[in-house]
Amino acid sequence: MAFIEAHNLVKTYTPRGSGIVRALDGLTLAVPRASVQALLGPNGAGKTTAVKVLTTLVVPDSGTATIGGVDVMRDGDLVRPIIGVSGQYAAVDENLTGFENLDMVGRLYHLGRQESRARAKELIDLFDLTEAQNRPVKGFSGGMRRRIDLAGALVTRPRVLFLDEPTTGLDPRSRLGMWDIITSLVGEGTTVLLTTQYLEEADRLADSISVIDGGKVIAEGTSDELKASIGGQRVELNLVSASDRQKTFEVLARHGNSRPTISPDERTLTVSVVDGPTALQLILAELGASGVALFDAGMRRPTLDDVFLRLTGHAASDEDSPNGTGKKRDTGKKRPNRGRRARDEDPTPSPGAAHTDPDRT
């Protein structure tokens, strides 16, 4: 039995003035002990709702969940002492210092005065907050807030840690620092469930990734498996003239290992390739010889958008921007290909895809 198990979790909301929202729509997960599981998905995918259900903060409409064999819904009192949660929005008292915040958590958990202080000190050092420990949190940077919030989740040495988007909104340097901290925790045997919108983050930290959309898992595997399922590197070309699209499509199709895609304006073509530099050279040579003019040409790694486009037929950023400025996703809406697994995916873009191939248009 996996350490964290969730089976067919369903949670619906009926916000005033709109239809029913299926925040979780049959979510199933199995996380082995001492491993890191990523829930990768765009805004509105159901990540926070999943964390809330597993941490006893929200009761699902149906489905089951266990942590360490204990029923999360029935025996929440037994689950809470062994878990720690660090949320998308840091839950710290602005007016207390970093040290006081951690000490307070220890007291709330009845650690006792001495042990609370000792644990707070230990975590302050571990998280490199020694300089800031006696300053009120309201003066902390975003990265420091996240660290103090995560430290708070660790006061009781939980065996399971839930990290809800631990680095969203952080600058690159703070993000790297956070990744180091998470990596060292895992080395100590903590089981971690981490949510993220970043493929790169899941890639770096997780043993296994569940891609979620519309409240359910649409693909799962290691980062290598997922990337292989959508192809490794991408070659992307920008045409000067859309009239060259057919010729370019044929060249890309010959050198790529997936069907090339064409943007709606018909001037950007992308294909996944096995060996990026070699493929790019060959493609450029052939296009040069046939007189196709390019604005831009280059290689790139698959992004979350590529994963989503291939798995769901819609881009992750269709309705939401990754930084959360977009409006909420309507999870009730049916989309092509939803629910299919990476392993049975065929390489042809669906008719509803944002990118189409020239044979269809």
Ligand X SMILES: Nc1ncnc2c1ncn2[C@@H]1O[C@H](COP(=O)(O)OP(=O)(O)O)[C@@H](O)[C@H]1O
Residues that bind ligand X (CB under 6 A): 13, 15, 21, 23, 41, 43-49, 328-329, 331
Could you say which of 3, 40, 48, 205 contacts Mg ion (CB under 5 A)? 48
Tell me which DSSP letter residue 113 carries.
Answer: H
Residue 49's binding partner out of ligand X, Mg ion, none, with CB under 5 to 8 Å set by partner kind: ligand X
The answer to whether 101 and 107 have CB atoms below 8 angstroms apart is no
Residue 43's binding partner out of ligand X, Mg ion, none, with CB under 5 to 8 Å set by partner kind: ligand X
The answer to whether 35 and 52 have CB atoms below 8 angstroms apart is no
Give which of 30, 28, 37 is closest to 69, Cα–Cα.
Answer: 30
Pick between residue 324 and residue 358 the one whose CB is nearest to Mg ion: 324
Closest distance to ligand X from the beta carbon of 13 (Å): 3
Closest distance to ligand X from the beta carbon of 254 (Å): 39
Residue 156's binding partner out of ligand X, Mg ion, none, with CB under 5 to 8 Å set by partner kind: none
Tokens at 248, concatenated: 């370019």
Name the closest residue to Mg ion (Cβ): 48
**Residue 188 φ/ψ, nearest 5 degrees:** -90, 5
Tell me which DSSP letter residue 167 carries.
Answer: T
Pick between residue 199 and residue 273 the one whose CB is nearest to ligand X: 199
Number of residues that bind Mg ion (CB under 5 A): 3
To the nearest 10°, the Cα dihedral for 303, 309, 310, 311? 100
Could you give the string, one character per residue 77-96, with x where binding to Mg ion holds by CB under 5 A and - elsewhere? -----------x--------
Kindly report the CA angle at 259 between 253 and 263, in degrees rounded to 5?
100
Closest distance to Mg ion from the beta carbon of 169 (Å): 12
Residue 15's binding partner out of ligand X, Mg ion, none, with CB under 5 to 8 Å set by partner kind: ligand X
Residue 172's binding partner out of Mg ion, ligand X, none, with CB under 5 to 8 Å set by partner kind: none
The answer to whether 237 and 330 have CB atoms below 8 angstroms apart is no
Task: Give the distance, in angstroms, between the CA of residue 57 and the centroid of all CA atoms in the same chain.
Answer: 21
Closest distance to Mg ion from the beta carbon of 207 (Å): 22
Pick between residue 120 and residue 218 the one whose CB is nearest to Mg ion: 218
196 binds Mg ion (CB under 5 A): no
Closest distance to ligand X from the beta carbon of 23 (Å): 3
Closest distance to ligand X from the beta carbon of 58 (Å): 8
Handedness of CA 162, 165, 171, 176 (dihedral sign): positive
Residue 46's binding partner out of Mg ion, ligand X, none, with CB under 5 to 8 Å set by partner kind: ligand X
To the nearest 10°, the Cα dihedral for 135, 136, 141, 146? 110
The answer to whether 54 and 193 have CB atoms below 8 angstroms apart is yes
Pick between residue 113 and residue 328 the one whose CB is nearest to ligand X: 328
Tell me which DSSP letter residue 75 carries.
Answer: -
Closest distance to Mg ion from the beta carbon of 297 (Å): 37
270 binds Mg ion (CB under 5 A): no
**Rounded distance between C-alpha atoms, residue 351 and residue 184, angstroms:** 45
Distance spanning both ends of the chain, measured CA to CA: 50
Residues that bind Mg ion (CB under 5 A): 47-48, 88
